[in-house]
Structure 1
Amino acid sequence: MPIISIRMAKGRSIEQKRKLVAEVTRAVSETLDLPPDIVSIQLHEFERENWATGGELHVDRFGPGFGKP
């Protein structure tokens, strides 16, 4: 059983999450030739101020709106 882990910043709607897991499930199922009902997906959401690259918080580097959907 494939277990897919997706990490993303908080802020997506429940409808966006539904679409995301449906599309990822479809892609994994088709690619690995497996039934969709055995594909498991975990969504891990983090606060945007907890995201950094190159030793600098994104909120400081790009502003508070960076990466918002």
Structure 2
Amino acid sequence: MPIATINIIEGRTDEQKEKLIEKVTQAIHEAIDAPIPNIRVMLNEMPKQHFGIAGQSAKKLGR
């Protein structure tokens, strides 16, 4: 059972997250011929102040 874990910064809509899950599932299916019902995708959404870029939080950088 393939499991994809994706870390993203908060701020995406539910529709965007659904699309991401769908596309990642399809990519795994196509790449390794895994049955779609066996594929799992986990999104870890984190606050912008918990993600650092070049020594500053994404929140501070306005991302």
* TM value normalised by structure 1: 0.81
Corresponding residue number in structure 1 for 2:52: 52
Q: CA deviation at 1:53?
A: 2.6
Q: CA deviation at 1:51?
A: 1.2
Corresponding residue number in structure 2 for 1:4: 4
Report runs of 4+ in structure 1 exceeding 6 Å deviation: none
Structure number with larger C-alpha Rg: 1
In 2, distance between residues paired with 1:13 and 1:39?
A: 22
Asked whether the equivalents of residues 3 and 39 of structure 2 are also in contact (C-alpha less than 8 Å), the reply is yes
- Of stretches 18-27 and 47-56 in structure 1, the one that deviates more from structure 2 is 47-56
Residues 59, 11 of structure 1: CA spacing in aligned structure 2 closer, same or farther, 3 A cutoff? closer
Deviations 1:4-57 (A, max 9, x none): 000001111111111100000000011001111101011100001111133322
Q: In structure 2, the residue corresponding to 1:8 is in which secondary structure?
A: strand
Aligned residues: 63
Q: In structure 2, the residue corresponding to 1:34 is in which secondary structure?
A: coil
Corresponding residue number in structure 2 for 1:39: 39
In 1, distance between residues paired with 2:42 and 2:7?
A: 8
